[in-house]
């Protein structure tokens, strides 16, 4: 990575008196967040407070290995402190520069049973804290039965969560007191009674398993790390030396602070790719929604094939003349008639009615990137065999983006989607893709943990109940997208695939054929059109899809807002937010600000302040807002576009309809 070090401070101290209490405490740079460690009967515990509020009570740490050796009783050998302050430039993201500033306490421990060495590193940032374990000694085989890391909360916090599931993240959220959240997926977001926001997640998973959080049987305010198991019910099989992922606790006085945080990226390693000049965030459309609506099919044998040469050229023409840089084409390759069976796809043979070379050349002549597609159906054994040839084909054609998908149970069938087997697989795919100069959009992924800093070609992920559910199920309620930025969104970019204009999905009703058993016949998107445009700013993704059909965008006055939205930002500020209710975000690219807001089922009028703008400058404000009578069910397509002149002292009110939203462009 082009690591432009504007300021780098690293200070290292050895702690001399290991037994003085103050020496087992680490403060964030501002001093507001504290992590304290204690030893009791050889066990190690940590706790944390934020501005005089206890946020995590003393919580245990350690492991149980597969031979039932406990790694929970330790002697403290040495302690070191590090102070670090640096700035780095991500290749894409919410910011063009990120400060990484923390204080670290590194404990060197020896377990008292087997004399094994283990280190625990704690880092305190202003926006949270984290810890990870390292096994420094050579050991060819370590099998972990259980990670004994706990998070014990002093209060019955108000929580936003989805059920833990070892195979999918495509779920709707609950908002309940902590006591009702018995087994949850991560990120796990909550608010304390005093108002502090916390979210638990993990960073930099390498060769490990991903984490869920399980309530303790005897204490509903205590959660234990519960790793997704292998078939033999062990959770991690590895060799040492190795590091566990970071256990991360975001902490913020405001809900918006969670979104603004770069904690996860800061806890990941810098880029391993020396040349990143080929990595470019883009906006894209797709031969995609028409299949989900049942207008066309992925397979060719239906007579309604979507990925034909002719159709692809039509989409390319639309993209080229409307400021859209990319096109994903699903159903281009043979095998869809066998989707769900083993070895269904070879990933290199196009259907007869899709001339891949002609399509790519046509796209190139119009300056549009083709995004290739690999649906694996979860058949990892087959995909790994064909990975090189699949990427090599795309590289030879000049295709630099691939969307992949894992819709189906994992083959080998003994393994879970989110276990270590799949983490290894995703690592392999991301490295192989980088070797072929390919950027990735991964659907049905393992929950991201910030790998994109180390492999910036790993652009975006689904791992969310996205737009597709509005095409063939009861759909996603408006509160869903008001919850996502504070939950799933904290793990990294989301390919939610927003931007549907034909909200009622009626326009091509007569051409739709039911293909998905979850389709009860009356599907629609549950938001207004302004909400759909706003999502493209609110839900960050460096590959951002405008998901609707070109026919629905063509000549639509509101589409010019989508055309102008960038896929990477210089600056991000959350102006106002309440989890699950509404969120207003301002993002800057160059001198232009994009401000977007969405609301849940309730209409609301928000006062808008513009004190983030440059002083003494007049800005032209173009906005697209819900019409007075707009409503996500009764009148979802009512919008008003208007222009006015404002400055940093202006004060206006914005009304969002039920399930509504707005977008403003200021320059």
Q: Residue 233 contacts by C-beta under 8 Å, 6 or more apart in sequence?
A: none
CB 576 within 8 A of CB 582: yes
Round the CA-based radius of gyration of the chain to a whole number and report it. Answer: 25
CB of 377 to ligand NOJ, least distance (A): 8
Question: DSSP letter at 531?
Answer: H
- DSSP character for 411? B
CB of 516 to Ca ion, least distance (A): 12
Q: How far apart are CA 253 and CA 262, in angstroms?
A: 15
Do 505 and 200 meet the contact criterion of CB atoms below 8 Å apart? no
- As a whole number of angstroms, the distance between CA 202 and CA 267 comes to 9
Q: Which is nearer to ligand NOJ, 104 or 330 (CB)?
A: 330
Contact between residue 480 and residue 527 where contact means Cβ atoms under 8 Å apart:
no
User: Are the beta carbons of 300 and 353 closer than 8 angstroms?
Assistant: yes
Specify the DSSP class assigned to residue 269: P
Q: Among ligand NOJ, Ca ion, none, what binds residue 548 when CB lies within 5 to 8 Å by partner kind?
A: none
Q: Which residues pair with 243 in a beta bridge?
A: 134
524/472 Cα distance (integer angstroms) = 8
- Compute the least distance from the CB of residue 291 to ligand NOJ, in Å: 6
Residue count of the chain: 667
Rounded distance between C-alpha atoms, residue 316 and residue 77, angstroms? 63
Closest approach of Cβ 222 to Ca ion, in Å? Answer: 33
Distance CA(420)–CA(443), nearest Å, equals 18
Residue 441 near residue 461 (C-beta atoms within 8 A): yes
Q: Which residues bind Ca ion (CB under 5 A)?
A: 443
157 SS3 class? coil
By CB under 6 A, name the binding residues for ligand NOJ.
288, 330, 375, 405, 407, 443, 462, 468
Q: How far is the CB of 462 from ligand NOJ (least distance, A)?
A: 5
Judged by beta carbon distances under 5 to 8 A according to partner kind, the member of ligand NOJ, Ca ion, none in contact with residue 330 is ligand NOJ
Residue 375 interaction partner, one of ligand NOJ, Ca ion, none, beta carbon < 5-8 Å per kind: ligand NOJ
Which residues 6+ apart lie within 8 Å of 209 measured at CB?
A: 227, 228, 229, 230, 235, 236, 418, 419, 420, 423
Task: State the Cα–Cα distance between residues 91 and 292, nearest whole angstrom.
Answer: 32
Return the number of other C-beta atoms located less than 10 Å from residue 286's C-beta. Answer: 25
CB closer to Ca ion out of 147 and 444: 444
Closer residue to Ca ion (CB): 378 or 456: 378
Q: Give the shortest CB-459-to-ligand NOJ separation in angstroms.
A: 15
- Residue 306 phi/psi, 5° resolution? -80, -45
- Buried b / exposed e over 492-523, threshold 16 CB at 10 Å, is bbbbbbbbbbbbebebbeeebeeeeeebeeeb
Q: Are residues 130 and 123 in contact, defined by beta-carbon separation less than 8 angstroms?
A: yes
The DSSP line for 551-571 is HHHTT-TTHHHHHH--SS-SE
Contacts of 195 (CB under 8 A, 6+ apart): 253
If residue 229 lies in a helix (H) or strand (E), which one and from where to where? none
Q: Which C-beta is closer to ligand NOJ: that of 86 or that of 330? A: 330
C-beta closer to Ca ion: residue 443 or 480: 443
With beta carbons less than 8 A apart as the criterion, state whether 226 and 213 touch: yes
Q: How far is the CB of 569 from Ca ion (least distance, A)?
A: 26
| Separation between Cα atoms, residue 394 and residue 374, nearest integer Å | 11
- Give φ, ψ of 543 to 5 degrees: -110, 105
Q: DSSP string covering 455-522, please? A: -TTEEEE--S--TTHHHHSS---HHHHHHGGGTGGGGS-B------S-TT--TTGGG-----TT--S-
Give which of ligand NOJ, Ca ion, none residue 116 binds (C-beta under 5 to 8 Å, depending on kind): none
Q: Which residues are catalytic?
A: 468
Are 450 and 493 in contact by the 8 Å Cβ rule? The answer is no
């Amino acid at each position: 990575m082009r690591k432009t070090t504007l300021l780098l401070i690293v200070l290292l101290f050895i702690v001399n008196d290991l037994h003085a209490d103050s020496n087992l405490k680490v403060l964030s740079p501002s001093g507001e967040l504290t992590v304290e460690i204690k030893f009791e009967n050889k066990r190690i515990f940590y706790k944390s407070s934020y501005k005089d509020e206890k946020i995590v009570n003393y919580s245990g740490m350690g492991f149980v290995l597969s031979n039932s050796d406990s790694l929970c009783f330790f002697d403290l050998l040495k302690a070191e402190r590090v102070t670090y302050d640096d700035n780095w430039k991500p290749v894409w993201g919410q910011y063009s520069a990120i400060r990484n500033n923390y204080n670290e306490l590194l404990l060197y421990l020896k377990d008292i049973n087997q004399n094994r060495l283990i280190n625990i590193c704690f880092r305190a940032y202003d926006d949270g804290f984290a810890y990870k374990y390292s096994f420094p000694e050579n050991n060819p085989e370590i099998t972990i039965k259980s990670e004994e890391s706990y998070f014990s909360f002093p209060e019955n916090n108000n929580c936003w969560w989805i059920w833990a599931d070892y195979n999918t993240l495509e779920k709707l959220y609950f908002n309940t007191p902590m006591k009702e959240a018995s087994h949850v997926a991560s990120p796990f977001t909550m608010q304390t009674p005093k108002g502090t926001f916390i979210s638990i997640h993990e960073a930099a998973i390498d060769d490990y398993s991903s984490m869920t959080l399980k309530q303790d049987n005897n204490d509903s305010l205590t959660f234990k790390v519960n790793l997704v198991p292998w078939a033999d019910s062990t959770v991690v099989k590895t060799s040492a030396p190795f590091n566990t992922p970071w256990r991360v606790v975001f902490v913020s006085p405001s809900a918006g602070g969670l979104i603004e945080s770069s904690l996860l990226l800061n806890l990941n390693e810098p880029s391993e790719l020396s040349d990143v000049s080929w990595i470019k965030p883009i906006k894209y459309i797709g031969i995609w929604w028409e299949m989900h609506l049942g207008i066309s099919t992925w397979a060719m044998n239906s007579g309604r094939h979507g990925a034909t040469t002719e159709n692809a050229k039509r989409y390319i023409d639309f993209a080229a003349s409307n400021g859209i840089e990319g096109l994903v084409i699903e159903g281009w390759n043979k095998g869809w008639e066998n989707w769900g069976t083993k070895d269904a796809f070879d990933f290199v043979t196009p259907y007869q009615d899709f001339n891949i070379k002609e399509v790519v050349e046509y796209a190139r002549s119009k300056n549009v990137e083709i995004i290739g597609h690999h649906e694996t159906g979860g058949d990892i054994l087959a995909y790994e065999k064909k990975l090189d040839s699949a990427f090599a084909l795309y590289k030879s054609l000049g295709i630099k983006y691939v969307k992949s998908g894992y819709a189906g149970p994992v083959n080998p069938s003994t393994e879970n989607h989110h276990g270590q087997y799949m983490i290894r697989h995703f690592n392999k795919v991301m490295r192989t893709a980088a070797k072929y100069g390919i950027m990735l959009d991964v659907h049905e992924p393992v929950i991201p943990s910030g790998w994109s800093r180390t492999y910036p070609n790993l652009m975006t992920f689904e791992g969310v109940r996205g737009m597709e559910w509005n095409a063939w199920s009861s759909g996603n309620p408006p509160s869903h997208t008001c919850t996502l930025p504070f939950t799933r969104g904290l793990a990294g970019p989301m390919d939610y695939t927003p931007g549907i204009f034909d909200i009622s999905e009626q326009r091509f009703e007569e051409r739709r054929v039911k293909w998905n058993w979850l389709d009860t016949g009356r599907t629609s998107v549950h938001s207004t059109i302004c909400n759909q445009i706003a999502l493209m700013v609110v839900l960050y993704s460096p590959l951002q899809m405008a998901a609707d059909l070109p026919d629905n965008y063509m000549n639509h006055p509101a589409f010019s807002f989508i055309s102008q939205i960038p896929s990477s930002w210089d600056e991000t500020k959350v102006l106002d937010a309440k989890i699950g209710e509404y969120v207003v975000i301002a993002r800057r690219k160059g001198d232009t600000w994009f401000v977007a807001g969405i609301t849940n089922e309730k209409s609301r009028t928000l006062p808008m302040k513009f004190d983030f703008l440059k002083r003494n400058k007049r800005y032209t404000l173009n906005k697209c807002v819900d019409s007075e009578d707009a409503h996500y069910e009764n009148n979802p397509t009512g919008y008003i576009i208007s222009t006015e002149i404002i400055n940093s002292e202006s004060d206006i009110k914005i009304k969002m309809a039920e399930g509504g939203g707005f977008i403003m462009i200021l320059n």
